[in-house]
Amino acid sequence: MRFIHMADVHFDSPFTVLTDKRDFGTKRRLEQREAFRKAIEYISKENIPYLFIAGDLYNQDYIRESTVEFINNLFKTIPNTKIFISPGNHDPFLKNSFYNTFNWNKNVTIFGDKIERIELEDVDIYGYGFNDFYCSNSKVEEIEIKNTNKVNILLVHGALDSSKSIDAQYNPVSTNKLKEIGFDYVALGHIHKRTDENKYNFIYPGSMISFGFDELGEHGMLDVIIEKEIEKNKLNNSENNKKINKNKIKINFIKLDDRIFEEININISEINSQEELIEKINSIKIKNNIFYKIILIGSRNIEINKNEICKLITNENILKVEDKTEMKYNLDQLAKQKNLKGVFVKKMLDKLKTENYDEEEIKKAIEIGLESFE
């Protein structure tokens, strides 16, 4: 069987955390729509029979009915494709959600908070959907496969092998439990980074488009083909009738997002003015399809005002400036000096150890204070 696996589309996301640049959110949402349109056109051209969307198709807090109509109208263009959606933590199946109130096209199936098995000719599809913004136990680990002779797929949004306490709120699922159940493919959503290795067939496709500089590289969807063969085990007479499942899985990544996010480090140790720094940033060779974050490193000889620098950057594809520079002073050595500078630095460092101060703020105060001694 062949299907498309996508997740974490996040339609109508505001994109406000990426940049303060005017109209950026609107432009990015237009690119988001274009990426989804490309996905549907690919499905139509390739005559792919199944589309699995593993949660966070949209953002409940921001989604507009016009966007849902846009999505559904595209679904209508692939009437022969069966579409399955497993709502996630950003698009849960609430009473007032569009999953519940909108008249979706007849080829769309949306899973609720009760595990459901859809029996089709060549595949059994198991699915579960969030009914709230949090989920601590979907009970997917308790599923028993009914027909092992067919391809069995689980569609779910969740945190696989979660080690962080915060992920325990987003449907934590155990790899070991899933291995025991024996799904041929687990179509996951929630993690925006694509699964690098296909060891147990538990796959995250990554977000359809990138949402920031913590999501570097290419983004899109997966075109998956599963060939399942059943053959008899001929090890000995007592096991002659035992059947073995042998799968061949081919996963092809389809790039949908024309944009890529990249980071560029600039060492400013030899830079002695803000004007010189801005000139250096503006001289960077920029590619039109890439969004950049400039990371300032090295020891600083000037005061860094990120907001002021961003205003004077001429290229619109540079979205953010991050300051990771270090002070030109060795504070530990200065604190040991038997002079006014040493006393000042020691007292300030003591404040950092004994009181609830922000480390960066204290270091900034020390730097300003030391400059007054010059």
The whole-angstrom separation of Cα 2 and Cα 310 is 47
Q: Are residues 322 and 332 in the same domain?
A: no
The predicted model scores a pTM of 0.83
Q: Are residues 75 and 190 in the same domain?
A: yes
Among 288, 303, 326, the domain-final residue is 326
- Owning domain of residue 210: 2-255
Q: Are residues 210 and 314 in the same domain?
A: no
Please give the torsion angle defined by the CA atoms of residues 141, 52, 218 and 282, in that order, rounded to the nearest 10 degrees.
Answer: -110
Which pair of tokens denotes residue 158? 């969740």
Q: Are residues 28 and 163 in the same domain?
A: yes
Q: Are residues 131 and 184 in the same domain?
A: yes
The whole-angstrom separation of Cα 84 and Cα 124 is 12
| Element holding 167 (H helix, E strand) | none
Q: Are residues 286 and 192 in the same domain?
A: no
Q: Are strands 123-127 and 116-119 parallel, antiparallel or unpaired?
A: antiparallel
Q: Are residues 245 and 334 in the same domain?
A: no
Instruction: Say how many C-beta atoms besides its own lie within 10 A of residue 50's C-beta.
Output: 22
- What parts of the chain have a pLDDT lower than 50? 232, 234-242, 244
Q: Are residues 317 and 342 in the same domain?
A: no
Task: Render 332-356 in DSSP notation, one character per residue.
Answer: HHHHT-SSHHHHHHHHHHHHHHHS-
Which pair of tokens denotes residue 176? 């070991």
pLDDT at res. 239:
46
CB 202 within 8 A of CB 51: no
Among 225, 255, 285, the domain-final residue is 255
The whole-angstrom separation of Cα 183 and Cα 191 is 20
The whole-angstrom separation of Cα 362 and Cα 352 is 7
3-state DSSP call for residue 139?
coil
pLDDT at res. 196:
77
CA angle (229, 79, 1) in 5-degree steps? 10
pLDDT at res. 12:
96
Q: Are residues 178 and 292 in the same domain?
A: no
pLDDT at res. 16:
75
CB 257 within 8 A of CB 37: no
Q: Are residues 158 and 213 in the same domain?
A: yes
Q: Are residues 211 and 84 in the same domain?
A: yes
Residue 137 CB partners (closer than 8 Å, separation 6+): 171
Among 255, 273, 298, the domain-final residue is 255
The whole-angstrom separation of Cα 126 and Cα 116 is 6
Q: Are residues 204 and 297 in the same domain?
A: no
